[in-house]
Amino acid sequence: MTNRTLPLTPSDLLSTPSDTTSPAVLEQLRRRSADPARRTLFTGATIVTMDPGLGVLHHADLLVEGETVVAIGSGLSRDGAVVVEAAGTILTPGFVDTHRHAWQAQLRRIMPDVDDLGAYVRSTLAGHATVYRPHDMYVGTKLAALTAIDSGITCMLDFSHNSRTPDHSDAAVHALIDTGIRGVHASMGPHFGDWDRQWPGDLGRLRETYFSGDDQLLTLRLAALATDEISGPALAYGPELARTAADLGIGVSVDAVFGTSSSRAVLGWEEQGLLGADLTLIHATGLTMDAWKAIGESGTTIALAPTSDAQIGLETAIPAIDEALAVGIRPGLSIDVEVALVSDMFTQMRALHAIQRMRAVNTVHGTDRRPTRITTHDVLDFATLQGARTNGLAGTTGSLTPGKKADLLVIQAEDLNNMPLNDAIGTVVLGSDARNISAVLINGRPRKWNGQVLDVDLPALRAEVHASREYVRNAPAA
């Protein structure tokens, strides 16, 4: 994928603070939030569109009408628009998280040095998960979604694999609704403990109740495991679950895709016609070349979890980026489990960028071959456009393309850790973090402004999170 960049001009080099620090501009935007024809014009920004036909534009404007990006260019009309002076900033698409177990957020870093998957399974899935009430599902999912917004993730797939009752599922969905994130609720029954066995039958009710509209922030997927090794056959992807998803018209996300057993499963799915673009395989570490060939030929999507694979040590412990690219797959990126890992997409991009380039150079060290290294543009593409495609939302979000929804970030390029701006994509991937994101828009609405997530009663949330954490940690496992 090419990165077409227009040259810098002298006016790009010295800039004043943007209007995304202004309460007055925010107030104008909020007064007009109910107007479907409202216009918001960002002016004078460096725009990293992640649209291969548009590239990077300097000192450019971006116009939002209602929920949608309608124009990008220079000198766009200000008529009827709330104007946001954005000189000295970088506009990018919001990041897309393709796999996070959001319900666990109140257990963040409870096991930061976990040594293997088994330790996580025993502690979290066979232990803490079994005592979760619907309220705990709500609190964890809400905390994860708000943290995602704060760090620039505008779309999050919540792999909600603790659906013990219909009320647990409802609570997780309501948390996504209440935060205003573009949420993908991927529902799965729990691994261990008592539960109502309502899944996957309850997916029909969920779809009718929350996901019946075609133009909304929330979408529904079926979540499953690759094999029956951890929790038995009921949660393992196969013809029955594939038929359920097809009947509902929803996609499928499959977790714990590791090693030789998952490779055999992939080849079985190929024979059964169960691979395809509506299926996402998560991790995909340690798969055989035959499995990768089947995945690539079918157009199945891949969600990588760079820090999870490397830090926890999943199968080979090497994110399967080279394997995916070798069969023509550009993957999405994901956070996975906050019980042991970081919460933000900046770290995922940097980890993958460093690991792949290290591996590429190491592979050819001592030979006359040149390493094949990914770039900062590649990892930003994975974190935005490819993440949207992986979540089944390529036509909705993932790039600043006229006609797509206005899910975007305003990143301060003149902050201490970013100035002077020399390369916009390099600054986003290697220089920036959540403190530099002055504004986040989701579906055209401000969700973060002047560096603060909006509409959050932080003391009340803090009290809820702490109370839920204490309950979950102290209640005896079911």
203-225: pLDDT as tens digits:
999 999 999 876 689 999 999 99
Do 64 and 103 fall within a single domain? no
Do 70 and 129 fall within a single domain? no
pLDDT(11) > 60: no
What 3-state class would DSSP assign to 127?
A: coil
| Residue 354 near residue 374 (C-beta atoms within 8 A) | no
What 3-state class would DSSP assign to 11?
A: helix
Which of the four pLDDT bands, split at 50, 70 and 90, describes residue 13? Answer: very low
Contacts of 247 (CB under 8 A, 6+ apart): none
Average pLDDT over all residues of the chain: 94
Predicted pLDDT of residue 21: 75
Based on its alpha-carbon atoms, the radius of gyration of the chain, rounded to whole angstroms, reads 22
* Rounded Cα distance, 283 and 287, in Å: 10
For 344-387, what is each residue's pLDDT tens digit? 999 999 999 999 999 999 999 999 999 999 999 999 999 999 99
Predicted pLDDT of residue 16: 54
Do 180 and 194 fall within a single domain? yes
Do 366 and 434 fall within a single domain? no
Predicted pLDDT of residue 2: 42
Predicted pLDDT of residue 108: 98
Which CATH number does the domain housing residue 255 bear? 3.20.20.140
Do 280 and 426 fall within a single domain? no
User: Residue 36: which domain range?
Assistant: 10-93+399-453
User: Is the residue at 465 inside a domain?
Assistant: no
| Residue 99 near residue 382 (C-beta atoms within 8 A) | no
For 173-184, what is each residue's pLDDT tens digit? 999 999 999 999
pLDDT(264) > 50: yes
Strands 81-85 and 39-48: parallel
Peptide bond into 200 cis (omega under 30): yes
Do 173 and 297 fall within a single domain? yes
Predicted pLDDT of residue 214: 67
Which CATH number does the domain housing residue 410 bear? 2.30.40.10
| Residue 304 near residue 320 (C-beta atoms within 8 A) | yes
DSSP 272-310: HT--STTEEEEEEET--HHHHHHHHHHT-EEEE-HHHII
How many domains does the chain contain in total? Answer: 2
* Rounded Cα distance, 257 and 314, in Å: 10
* Rounded Cα distance, 374 and 299, in Å: 21
Predicted pLDDT of residue 10: 39
For 109-148, what is each residue's pLDDT tens digit? 999 999 899 999 999 999 999 999 999 999 999 999 999 9
User: Which domain-ending residue is among 347, 368, 390?
Assistant: 390
